[in-house]
Amino acid sequence: MAHSPALSVDAPSAERRRRVDRLGAAVVTLAAIGLAAGPFATLRPNRILDGTPIGLFDALPRDVAAAVAAVVAAAACVALLRTGAGARLTAGAAALAALVAAVGRAPGHLVAPGDVFGRVGPGWGWWLAALAFALLAGDALTRLRIGPGARVMALGIAGLAAAGLIAGGAIDDLSIMKEYASRPAAFWAEGRTHAALAFGAVAAALSIGVPLGLACHRWSRLATPTVAALSALQTIPSIALFALLIAPLGWIAAHVPGAAAIGVAGVGAAPAFVALTLYALLPVASSVIGGLAGAPDDTLDAARGTGMTERQILTSIKAPLAAPVFLAGLRVVTVQTIGLATVAALIGGGGFGTFVFQGVGQTAIDLVLLGAAPTVAMALAASVLLDAAAEAAGGRPR
């Protein structure tokens, strides 16, 4: 009986802890740090000079700032409590929409009329809060356990929302959009180059890596040296590999008839394409080898007992069972290649890396973001699509 008061005090505390969502607590902490202690926006006199951090209630009109704070506070309450996945998704999406719309209003409040040089961009506090609520929305989608088709639909809705936001002019005054406005033709040209490099390298890796994986599966002695050689390629830094390819490709362009005419050269897209293809070979070949080796022995014995040939077993049993593993490996290699294609700009290969390295050289962070943001979006879209394809092919539901 002496311990009953302590039990009566501890029980409500334990009950409150059970009602608090741990991820939600982390989301609320990140958002609070970002919006209360960090700058909501950064005001710079021009695109190059350092900026002045501006808090939420100074970056926006008071009524707009209060509305944003109210939406964020409501979303934080939903995140903190053990609410349903649908409510958490709605809260995360609403908070993200409010943050994006609000930061789009900040330039009109901070930059004086007629000032064509002033630049306003999101501050690190805004980025931290946006990351927090993006985590909340992503966690909610995971908890909903939606199927692959619904995930692709959600990606499409998010893409349409982003396109509508940009087309509607809601963020036209932000510094990153001002960087885009001065070079729209170059942006889309480099985007096509980036996509051609990344997806072309993946296609080339598939044409080499899949037969190589099949050969290693057929003749198991090949597997160990092949994987070891491809693993060794992965240890070479990307810039070093690009540099190593300059001399041999330059020699081929100079001495092999017709090579220069099809684009082979020591610098430019050719060494970047070859390097990206080489980097992609290990994940492709490994996923083929691992996927085919994962077929259950009893299934294979049953197939042989029915009189199926090894070729029929490969095409009718092993390949379908290996499809989820292969598509998971393809997702990894595609995302990896999209990111690595950024480095191709260092040797004149083009792509979104052009803006990244131009921005680094000019200390223009918004030009860096102009190259980095679409690269991340492309990689994210590819990841979602291929992950959905892997699940549709028979993978384990998330």
Distance, CA of 162 to chain centre: 15
Question: For 71-95, how does the pLDDT look when each residue is reduced to its tens digit (9 = 90+)?
Answer: 999 999 999 998 888 999 999 999 9
Confidence (pLDDT) at 309: 81
Helix, strand, coil percentages, rounded to 5, for the chain: 80, 5, 20
Q: What is the mean pLDDT of residues 128-149?
A: 89
The secondary structure of 59-100 as a DSSP string is HS-HHHHHHHHHHHHHHHHHHHBT--HHHHHHHHHHHHHHHH
Listed range (48-52, 107-111, 129-133, 356-360) with the worst mean pLDDT: 48-52
pLDDT band at 14 (very low <50, low <70, confident <90, very high): low
Give the mean pLDDT of the chain: 86
At 119, which amino acid appears? Answer: R
**DSSP E strands: which ranges in the chain?**
41-44, 52-54, 119-122
- Cα separation, 310 vs 298, whole angstroms: 15
Confidence (pLDDT) at 15: 52
- With a cut of 70, say whether residue 35 has pLDDT above it: yes
Question: For 185-226, how does the pLDDT look when each residue is reduced to its tens digit (9 = 90+)?
Answer: 999 999 999 999 999 999 999 999 999 989 988 888 888 898
- With a cut of 90, say whether residue 33 has pLDDT above it: yes
Listed range (164-173, 290-299, 330-339, 347-356) with the worst mean pLDDT: 290-299
Confidence (pLDDT) at 128: 95
Confidence (pLDDT) at 135: 92
- With a cut of 50, say whether residue 397 has pLDDT above it: no
Q: pTM of the entire structure? A: 0.84
Q: Which of 340, 361, 360 is nearest to 351 (CA)?
A: 340
For the domain made up of 184-392, give the CATH fold: MetI-like fold (1.10.3720)
